[in-house]
């Protein structure tokens, strides 16, 4: 029989968020919508008492802050995102993404094992890495997942872990709040 642990004031409810929701300084050049973090999202999550787990930024880990091209911010966003997606699809980068995914999976498993509720995962639509409903490809925003979210979802399925995964756009905070309220079960 397990000894009772974690019986203090913690909520035992967790939400995993894309790195850039809490750190806009990590996004690709020319795409930050906030100086630091996404205010509306943080305020909403804070009002629920859920713990927040910041996932790693796959692009920062794999390509660096300048995404491997200091002129990236001079290109249109979808064109630069397409370039980033192509580079993120290289074999050596895929291995780094797999390692980052395993890091997140480990945390999710640990929380679940100890009776925590993982409310969901929040990605960033249009992102070449963290897109959930849309990503960037062929210089367009298209339906589909970014390379990191796709790998993460596949690993969750392999482990028989089913949780909500939603994508938001930080430059559309009203829509993002509606999606998150639905995911968190806090209504409209």
What is the residue extent of each domain of the chain?
A: 13-184
pTM: 0.92
Give the number of C-alpha atoms closer than 13 A to the C-alpha of residue 29, restricted to the C-beta side: 15
49 DSSP 8-state letter = T
Rounded to whole angstroms, how far apart are CA atoms 124 and 128? 9
Residue in this structure with the two tokens 């994508």, named with its chain if needed: 167
Confidence of residue 1 (pLDDT cuts 50, 70, 90): very low
- Expressed in angstroms, the distance from the first to the final Cα of the chain is 41
Reduced to 3 states, what is the DSSP secondary structure of residue 36? coil
The pLDDT, as a whole number, for residue 150 is 97
The tokens for 37 are 């973090």
Q: What is the pLDDT of residues 87-103, one digit of tens each?
A: 998 988 999 999 999 99
Residue in this structure with the two tokens 């390509």, named with its chain if needed: 63
Rounded to whole angstroms, how far apart are CA atoms 73 and 132? 23
Angle at 184 between CA 180 and CA 188, to 5 degrees: 65
The whole-chain average pLDDT of the chain stands at 92
Strand partners, 56: none
The pLDDT, as a whole number, for residue 2 is 53
Confidence of residue 61 (pLDDT cuts 50, 70, 90): very high
Q: Do residues 29 and 79 make contact, with C-beta atoms less than 8 angstroms apart?
A: no
The tokens for 72 are 């990236």
Q: Do residues 148 and 58 make contact, with C-beta atoms less than 8 angstroms apart?
A: yes
């Amino acid at each position: 029989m397990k000894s009772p642990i974690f019986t203090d004031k913690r909520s035992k409810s967790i939400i995993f968020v894309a790195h850039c929701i809490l750190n806009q300084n990590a996004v690709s050049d020319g795409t930050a919508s906030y100086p630091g973090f996404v205010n509306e999202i943080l305020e909403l999550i804070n009002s629920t008492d859920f713990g927040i787990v910041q996932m790693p930024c796959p692009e920062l880990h794999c390509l660096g802050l300048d995404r491997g091209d200091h002129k990236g911010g001079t290109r249109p966003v979808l064109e630069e995102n397409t370039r980033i997606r192509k580079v993120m699809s290289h074999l050596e980068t895929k291995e780094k993404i797999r390692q980052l995914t395993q890091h997140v999976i480990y945390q999710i498993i640990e929380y679940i094992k100890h009776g925590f509720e993982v409310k969901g995962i929040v990605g960033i639509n249009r992102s070449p890495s963290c897109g959930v409903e849309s990503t960037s490809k062929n210089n367009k925003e298209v339906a589909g997942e970014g390379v990191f979210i796709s790998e993460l979802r596949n690993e969750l399925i392999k482990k028989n872990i089913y949780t909500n995964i939603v994508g938001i756009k930080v430059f559309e905070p009203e829509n993002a709040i509606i999606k998150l309220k639905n995911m968190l079960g806090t209504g409209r």
